[in-house]
C-alpha cells in the first residue's frame, strides 16, 4: 500500500493586519509520498524588522533552502550562495532612495531561519532540523511537549542571532529527532513559538496538543507580531490504518 503523505497546515498573519503584504515572515511546506514512504520539507524564516530588507531576505532564504540546509555545513554553503544572489537594491530600484541605500550598506538584512526535513521510517519518522535564531520546533503527542532549541517561552528573546546578509559566522543549532506516528510537529516563528510554549507552561501539554489538533487559521492569537505556524501530523503507519479501517468495517456490518 502506497503511504499517504502527511497533511500539512501552514498559516501566517501580518502584525499590521491591514497590510498582509507587509508580513516579514516567509515559509514553505511541501510533502510527497512514494514507494519509499513519504517526505516533508518545511522552512520558516522571520525577517528582522529593524532592517529594511528583512522580509525580502526571509523570502529569499525560504526560496533557496533545500534539505541539505539541515546540516550546519550545508546551511553555511547554501546561505553563502543565497547571499551572492540577493540584490535588493536592484529588485527595489523603482522605490529606492539614499535612505534605503544607506540602510542597506550599513546594516544589510537579517532573518531567523528554521529548516526541517521529515521522512517516514517504518512506524516512525525522522526529523532533521537546523535553526538559526528565534524560531521554534515543537513536538506534541498529548503527553509530552518537546521543543527545540528553547524550552521556555521567556528564552525566545535572542534578537541578535540571525542569518545576515553581511558575512558573519552562522550560529546554527541542529538536531535529529525520531518521531512516533500520531505526533504533531509545529514549526513557528518567534512570537507564535513563545505563545505555544506559554500555553504549555500554563495549561499543560494536553491542552497544547488539543489546540494543535483542532486549530484553524482563525484561532491564531493576536500577538503584535508577524506570525507563522506550520503543522505536520506524522501519519500512522499503513498497518495501523488498515487495522483501523477493518475495525470500522466490522462495526458497520455489525450495526
Residues that bind another protein (CB under 8 A): 15-19, 22, 49-50, 52-53, 55-56, 88, 91-92, 95, 97-100, 102-103, 166-167, 224-225
Provide, rounded to whole angstroms, the least separation between the CB of residue 47 and another protein.
Answer: 10
Q: Toward another protein, which CB reaches closer, 1 or 167? A: 167
Provide, rounded to whole angstroms, the least separation between the CB of residue 167 and another protein.
Answer: 7
- Nearest partner of 11 among 221, 234, 224, 233, judged by Cα: 221
Q: Toward another protein, which CB reaches closer, 106 or 254? A: 106
Q: Toward another protein, which CB reaches closer, 56 or 113? A: 56
Q: Toward another protein, which CB reaches closer, 39 or 164? A: 164
Provide, rounded to whole angstroms, the least separation between the CB of residue 201 and another protein.
Answer: 16
Q: Toward another protein, which CB reaches closer, 182 or 202? A: 202
Provide, rounded to whole angstroms, the least separation between the CB of residue 25 and another protein.
Answer: 14
State the virtual CA torsion across 206, 211, 212, 214 in degrees, nearest 10: 120
C-alpha span between 27 and 110 (Å, rounded): 15
Residue 163 host element (H or E): strand 163-164
Provide, rounded to whole angstroms, the least separation between the CB of residue 82 and another protein.
Answer: 17
| Three-state secondary-structure class, residue 45 | strand
**Which set of grid coordinates corresponds to residue 48?**
528582522
Contact present, 187 and 215 (Cβ < 8 Å): no
What are the strands, taking DSSP E only, across the chain? 8-13, 25-34, 37-47, 110-121, 124-132, 135-140, 145-148, 163-164, 173-180, 184-189, 227-233
Contact present, 215 and 230 (Cβ < 8 Å): no
Q: Toward another protein, which CB reaches closer, 38 or 195? A: 195
Provide, rounded to whole angstroms, the least separation between the CB of residue 234 and another protein.
Answer: 34
Amino acid at each position: 500500500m502506497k503511504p499517504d503523505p502527511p497533511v500539512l497546515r501552514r498559516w501566517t498573519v501580518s502584525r499590521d493586519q491591514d497590510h498582509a503584504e507587509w508580513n516579514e515572515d516567509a515559509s514553505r511546506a511541501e510533502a510527497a509520498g512514494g514507494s519509499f514512504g513519504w517526505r516533508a520539507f518545511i522552512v520558516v524564516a522571520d525577517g528582522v524588522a529593524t532592517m529594511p530588507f528583512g522580509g525580502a531576505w526571509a523570502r529569499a532564504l525560504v526560496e533557496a533552502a533545500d534539505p541539505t540546509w539541515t546540516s550546519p555545513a550545508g546551511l553555511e554553503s547554501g546561505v553563502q550562495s543565497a547571499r551572492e544572489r540577493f540584490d535588493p537594491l536592484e529588485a527595489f530600484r523603482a522605490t529606492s532612495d539614499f535612505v534605503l541605500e544607506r540602510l542597506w550598506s550599513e546594516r544589510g538584512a537579517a532573518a531567523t531561519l528554521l529548516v526541517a526535513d521529515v521522512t517516514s521510517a517504518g512506524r516512525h519518522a525522522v526529523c532533521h532540523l537546523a535553526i538559526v535564531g528565534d524560531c521554534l520546533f515543537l513536538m506534541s503527542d498529548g503527553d509530552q511537549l518537546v521543543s527545540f532549541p528553547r524550552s521556555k517561552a521567556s528564552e525566545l528573546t535572542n534578537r541578535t542571532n540571525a542569518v545576515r546578509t553581511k558575512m558573519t559566522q552562522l550560529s546554527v543549532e541542529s538536531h535529529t529527532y525520531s518521531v512516533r506516528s500520531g505526533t504533531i510537529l509545529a514549526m513557528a516563528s518567534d512570537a507564535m513559538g513563545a505563545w505555544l510554549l506559554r500555553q504549555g507552561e500554563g495549561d499543560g501539554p494536553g491542552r497544547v496538543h488539543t489546540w494543535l489538533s483542532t486549530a484553524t487559521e482563525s484561532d491564531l492569537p493576536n500577538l503584535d507580531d508577524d506570525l507563522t505556524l506550520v503543522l505536520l501530523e506524522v501519519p500512522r503507519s499503513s498497518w495501523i490504518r488498515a487495522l483501523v479501517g477493518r475495525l470500522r468495517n466490522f462495526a458497520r456490518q455489525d450495526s
